[in-house]
Amino acid sequence: MAKNINSSVLNLKPINKISFKQRMLSYKRKPLSFLLLIIVGLAAFLSAAALIFLMVYILVKGIPNLTPELFAWEYNSENVSCMPSIINTLIITCLTLAIAVPFGVGAAIYLAEYAKKGNKLVKVIRTMAETLSGIPSIVYGLFGMMFFVTALHWNMSLLAGSFTLAIMVLPTIMRTTEESLLTVPDSYREGSFGLGAGKLRTIVKIILPSSMPGILAGIILAIGRIVGETAALIYTSGSATGTATNVMDSGRTLAIHMYVLANEGLYTNQAWGTAVVLLVLVFGINTLSAFIAKKLGSKKG
Amino acid sequence: MDKFQIQSMNLHYGKFHALKNINLNMQKNKITAFIGPSGCGKSTLLKSLNRMNDLVEGCKITGSLKLDGEDIYGNMDVNVLRKRVGMVFQKANPFPMSVYDNIAFGPRTHGVKNKKQLDEIVEQTLKDAAIWDELKDRLKKSALGLSGGQQQRLCIARALAVKPEVLLMDEATSALDPISTGKIEELCMKLKNEYTIIMVTHNMQQALRVSDYTAFFLLGEMIEYNDTDTIFSSPKEQKTEEYITGRFG
């Protein structure tokens, strides 16, 4: 019996389903609406197409150049290995995050949880953060060169580069973290305070876990900027070809490596290969971060 | 015996005079209900009892509020006060974690670390809140997946887990269906042997059914305070009579 009903339901023709004919008819009545559909459809298609074209172009040009020599441990002008740059990139990324995340998250916690609403200082900090995130990165690079490299005598080093990048990504991390803290419902805070939990415990145990996905999104954005940055690094961490053995060494990141190769014009093929590596690296970091975000998200239940 | 003694208390939100010269003593192991139309200050008064109003900017309180003779706004540590005076909010607000962790949050805050002891507290408080049978198999599941009524009873259990002396309930049943409301009312009657309960309610029937004493508020003033039967059968003030018979509010 039940089976019969099911099959008869399947055979029914739903009247609420808009057929192609009906849709065309409605567009005929409103041609402007049809025009809009075409424009937005085209916009979506072209945006996706541009991205896909770029990716495919890089992959087609780059993959044939992915030779084993490109991943040799030592760089020389024969193999133009990008291995040292990969390692430098990872070091700079970790170092920059180690500096920027505590300050950025800390500042955001102050702004969202401690500062009184309408506080003048808060407004000043917010405006400054917004301004800073709009400044071209070469300005950070020049500042880094004047301050860290020259004034502090750090010379061109991974440390100088990391500090420069840390200042650059600080506003990003701060703003995304603050936004994410502000979306935590006040009822969580009330609930926690109502149980006699202090401010510290409320922030650490209730508010930060709930806003973790947003904070991680900010960190992923920051990683993207760090890995892709050239202008801020070229005069701070420099473009030495070797693997840095300590943070006071100069060393080039992948993006700078690529910039130099393309600039010299002698190793265009290897530059394409490096582009593929950079693409894969960024993709890998994003996937990993998303995975961590998901893990943290599921842990909190 | 008086649990709370409030003397000539005034409260301002900025320039708005929200509570005017309140004098009120509330008894231990009884249920006291605050009734009155929206905006009359009853929730504000409730939140003053465990200093939740501290979180509101521009809130200014004068007068004296005492818990067991001890000044609430004196040297008492605010976290200790909130441990002694627990609160259940209008909208159920379980934390985004498991049922178990929700209940254990309070005891952990106040220093209980032993796993076995925590297990016992969780089981006992869930039983006290009459929700153990429904939740015992899903202690590790997220509390956000529970129904509204279950969430609210979980919040009551969470408040009970820190062993408070007083339970403040701010329209705790206003968002619930009649069956859940009934369960929570039953729970209150059971709990009053051990706790002092003060509830804000918009539901006159609820005040009549559950409470021992009722205070009626209007525009920041306490119009009348008496035992519930007297308030509802022979109120002294005309305004009280008009409100409880539904002529305004």
CA of A206: which chain B residue's CA is closest? B95
Of A211, A224, A236, A200, residue with least CA distance to A281 = A224
Of B222, B152, B216, residue with least CA distance to B187 = B152
- Residues in contact with B11: Cβ distance below 8 Å, sequence separation at least 6, in sequence order: B17, B18, B19, B41, B44, B45, B48, B53, B59, B60, B61, B62
Residue-averaged pLDDT of chain A: 86
How far is the alpha carbon of A123 from chain B, nearest alpha carbon, in Å? 18
pLDDT tens digits for range A249-299? 888 888 998 888 888 888 888 888 888 988 888 888 888 877 877 776 655
Of B81, B93, B106, the CB nearest to A187: B93
According to the model, what pLDDT value does residue A297 have?
61
Alpha helices in chain A (DSSP H): 2-11, 20-29, 31-62, 83-109, 120-133, 137-144, 158-182, 186-194, 199-201, 208-228, 254-264, 268-299
Q: What is the distance between the alpha carbons of residues B96 and B145, in angstroms, rounded to a whole number?
A: 10
Is A206 near chain B, with CB under 8 Å? yes
According to the model, what pLDDT value does residue A26 have?
85
CB B152 within 8 A of CB B172: yes
How far is the alpha carbon of A245 from chain B, nearest alpha carbon, in Å? 44
How far is the alpha carbon of B76 from chain A, nearest alpha carbon, in Å? 12
Contact A197 B144 (CB under 8 A): no
Contact A195 B158 (CB under 8 A): yes
**Model confidence band, residue A301 (pLDDT cutoffs 50, 70, 90):** very low
CB B66 within 8 A of CB B35: no
Burial code (b: 16+ CB inside 10 Å, e: under 16) for B166-176 equals bbbbbbbbeeb
User: Which residue, among B95, B101, B113, would best test binding to A if mutated, counting the most A CBs under 10 Å from its CB?
Assistant: B95
pTM of the full structure: 0.81
Q: Is the pLDDT of residue A2 over 90?
A: no
Residue whose tokens read 């024969």: A78
Is B86 near chain A, with CB under 8 Å? yes
B155: chain A residues, CB-CB within 8 Å: 191
pLDDT tens digits for range A171-220? 999 999 999 999 999 999 999 999 989 899 999 999 998 898 888 888 88
According to the model, what pLDDT value does residue A1 have?
45
Which domains, and CATH codes, for chain B? Answer: 2-244 (3.40.50.300)
Q: Is the pLDDT of residue A14 over 80?
A: no
Contact B79 A196 (CB under 8 A): yes
A300: chain B residues, CB-CB within 8 Å: 96-97
- Over its length of 249 residues, how does chain B's per-residue pLDDT go in tens digits? 788 999 999 999 988 999 999 999 999 999 999 999 888 888 999 999 999 988 888 889 999 999 988 899 988 899 999 999 999 998 899 999 999 999 999 999 998 889 999 999 999 999 888 888 888 899 999 999 998 888 998 999 999 999 999 999 998 888 788 888 888 898 889 888 889 999 999 888 899 999 999 999 999 999 999 999 999 998 998 989 888 888 775
Is B187 near chain A, with CB under 8 Å? no
Is B57 near chain A, with CB under 8 Å? yes
Domain ranges of chain A: 17-55, 72-299
Is B109 near chain A, with CB under 8 Å? yes
Q: Which two tokens stand for residue B182?
A: 């009934």
Which CATH number does the domain A72-299 belong to among 3.30.9.100, 3.30.465.10, 1.10.1520.10, 1.10.3720.10?
Answer: 1.10.3720.10
ipTM of predicted assembly, 2 dp: 0.88
How far is the alpha carbon of B241 from chain A, nearest alpha carbon, in Å? 34
Of A190, A209, A301, the CB nearest to B52: A190
For chain A, percent of residues with pLDDT exceeding 90: 33
pLDDT tens digits for range A61-96? 888 888 887 777 877 777 788 888 888 898 999 999
DSSP letter for each residue of A149-211: IIIS---S-HHHHHHHHHHHHHHHHHHHHHHHHHTS-HHHHHHHHHTT--HHHIIIIIIHHHH
Of A188, A193, A198, the CB nearest to B95: A188
Q: What is the distance between the alpha carbons of residues A74 and A80, in angstroms, rounded to a whole number?
A: 9
A206: chain B residues, CB-CB within 8 Å: 95, 105
How far is the alpha carbon of A285 from chain B, nearest alpha carbon, in Å? 28
Is B73 near chain A, with CB under 8 Å? no
According to the model, what pLDDT value does residue A68 have?
80
Integer-rounded Cα Rg, in Å, for chain B is 18
According to the model, what pLDDT value does residue A300 have?
46
Q: Is the pLDDT of residue A123 over 90?
A: no
